[in-house]
Amino acid sequence: MPPKLERFVSPGKGNGLRAAVRVKRGELVYCAPPLACCVSNKVSRDVCHHCFSRRETLLRCSQCKMARYCNITCQKQAWSGHKRECKCLQSLLPRIPTDSVRLAARLLFALVCFSLLMKDPKMLYTLEEHESHLSSMSEHKKQGMAQLASMLELYLQQEVPYPAQEVMSALPPSLREPFSLIAKMTCNCFTISDGELQEIGVGLYPSLSLLNHDCRPNCVMVFVGTKLQLRAVRDINPEEELTISYIETLSLTEDRQRQLEDQYHFTCRCQHCDSQDKDRLMLSGHESTWRLLKEALPRLEGLKTESDWQALLEGCSHLLSTVVGDVPDENLYKLRITDMAVDASIHLGHWEEAVGYGEKTLPVYRQYYPDPHPVHGVQLMRVGKLQHYLEHIEDALDTFKQAYQIIKLTHGDDHPMTSDLRIKMEECRSEMVQQSSSSH
Ligand SMILES: [Zn+2]
Ligand SMILES: [Zn+2]
Ligand SMILES: [Zn+2]
């Protein structure tokens, strides 16, 4: 199959990718395994380090005590990539290096050990020319990078000198030198997420690092295990630039721009930023009242991080009942707090409350996500499952249908989430038949 995308120079943005052919909404544009990836430290006990499945029980690598696997098969398949890492991990115990240090090391091992250099030299050029934004980085950030770089050196000591020193020295200086390698890594890696959009790892997909950002992108990225799939969420013409969003788009223009400048070192000039079209809606209602919500957010987020669900739910429901008529559901701060109330009620098993809050968010999500978006699909699925559990079967079927319309475009027809939704809809339909036959 000829590639559907090609490199080009995007006016004002440098390198970019554009459509080589006409692409339909929902179409798979590109699919790639990572060049290197690793499970995030924070979920490293819950996810298989080979296939990235979430499991209740996992086998633990008896040597580093860090890597975990579904079974012997996953462990065996992971070994060639884990062998060197395992020694390095052992050398630092009980300390565990950060995700970016582990990822950088895995990249070096992959380049050196699998002679990827020889197999695909073109890919290396792409890596070599990736931005590291060193010139626009703050001193503070540079210091952080320098610390990571010395951590990387320390971490690699076990395996340096490499058995393949000559191959190593064949690497371009910017990849050989820990500081610039780490800098590249942090600007160009992608967060790998699971079906529920929770972060499970980080990975490098060199050819897709060229994708530029837009606050209303025409593509989205979804993962199947560690494989990245890029899909169109709108019809795209040949030569039109392909874009993704680097950040969560549901926030104010000012906040999105600040985040993009801090993390990715550029000023977004997309159409969505220019028109600031949703900002007014996000700040609707009496300002003096929604300020209360805005100011309460950091404290509530703290409770969420601490998993203090009882206090979180009390905090949210108290605030929401205070502002009830003064701030419409579309208000961004109200939406965030309502979402936290859903989370907290689910954790506490207060299903009726969870479904009540969840249903309130759905019309708002619909307004803020005009294009199919995984976040919107997952929210619908979450609410649908609650409705189903509470035997609100007709509501559940309706919500699952809406979720399906989105997920089949963002995740594709054969993604496990899409099949899961088909099963859920079927269950609802047959339960409705049973109900109507038993009532006669
Ligand atoms: Zn596995
Ligand atoms: Zn190990
Ligand atoms: Zn923008």
pLDDT at 196: 85
DSSP state at residue 268: -
Which tokens in the block code for residue 327?
Answer: 């701030």
Distances (CA, A) of 133 to 39, 147, 184, 261, 330: 25, 17, 8, 11, 37
Cα-trace Rg, the chain:
24
Q: Are 324 and 316 in contact (CB under 8 A)?
A: no
CA 351 to chain centre: 27
Chain segment 369-424, per-residue pLDDT in tens? 999 999 999 999 999 999 999 999 999 999 999 999 999 999 999 999 999 999 99
Which CATH code fits 281-438? 1.25.40.10
Ligand nearest to the CA of 48: 1
Which tokens in the block code for residue 245?
Answer: 């969003």
Residue written as token pair 């052992």: 90
Instruction: Tell me, in angstroms, the distance from the centre of ligand 1 to residue 58's CA.
Output: 9
Nearest-CA neighbor of 379 among 192, 195, 190, 193? Answer: 195
Domain boundaries, the chain: 42-188, 281-438
Q: Alpha-carbon distance 291 to 313, whole Å?
A: 19
Instruction: Tell me, in angstroms, the distance from the centre of ligand 1 to residue 339's CA.
Output: 32
pLDDT at 164: 46
Asked, as a colleague might, if the bond just before 161 is cis with ω within 30 of 0, I would say yes
Ligand nearest to the CA of 256: 3
Instruction: Tell me, in angstroms, the distance from the centre of ligand 1 to residue 112's CA.
Output: 24
Kindly give the pairing relationship between strand 227-232 and strand 219-224.
antiparallel
Chain segment 327-362, per-residue pLDDT in tens? 999 999 999 999 999 999 999 999 999 999 999 999
Ligand nearest to the CA of 255: 3
Buried/exposed 389-422: b ≥16 CB within 10 Å, e otherwise: eeebbebbbbbbebbbebbbbbbbeebebbebbe
Instruction: Tell me, in angstroms, the distance from the centre of ligand 2 to residue 157's CA.
Output: 16
pLDDT at 138: 80
Residue 3 backbone class (left: φ over 0; alpha: ψ -120 to 50; beta: rest)? beta
Ligand nearest to the CA of 254: 3
Ligand nearest to the CA of 273: 3
pLDDT at 80: 87
Q: Are 222 and 415 in contact (CB under 8 A)?
A: yes
Alpha carbons within 13 angstroms on the beta-carbon side of residue 390 total 18
DSSP state at residue 228: E
Instruction: Tell me, in angstroms, the distance from the centre of ligand 1 to residue 196's CA.
Output: 18
Q: Give the other-Cβ count within 10 Å of 136's Cβ.
A: 11
Instruction: Tell me, in angstroms, the distance from the centre of ligand 1 to residue 53's CA.
Output: 6
Instruction: Tell me, in angstroms, the distance from the centre of ligand 2 to residue 305's CA.
Output: 29
Residue written as token pair 């980080």: 202
Tell me the helices (H) and strands (E) count for the chain, helix number first: 18, 12
Task: Report residues of the chain scoring pLDDT below 70.
Answer: 1-2, 113-132, 158-174, 440
pLDDT at 321: 94
Instruction: Tell me, in angstroms, the distance from the centre of ligand 3 to residue 136's CA.
Output: 19
Q: Alpha-carbon distance 97 to 247, whole Å?
A: 25
Q: Alpha-carbon distance 36 to 215, whole Å?
A: 27
pLDDT at 114: 54
- Counting Cβ atoms within 10 Å, is residue 349 exposed (0-12), middle (13-18) or buried (19+)? exposed
Residue type, 165: Q
Q: Give the other-Cβ count within 10 Å of 149's Cβ.
A: 19
Instruction: Tell me, in angstroms, the distance from the centre of ligand 3 to residue 187's CA.
Output: 18
pLDDT at 113: 61
Q: Alpha-carbon distance 346 to 364, whole Å?
A: 20
Provide DSSP, 274-288.
HHTTTHHHHT-S-HH
Residue written as token pair 């079906």: 195
pLDDT at 153: 80
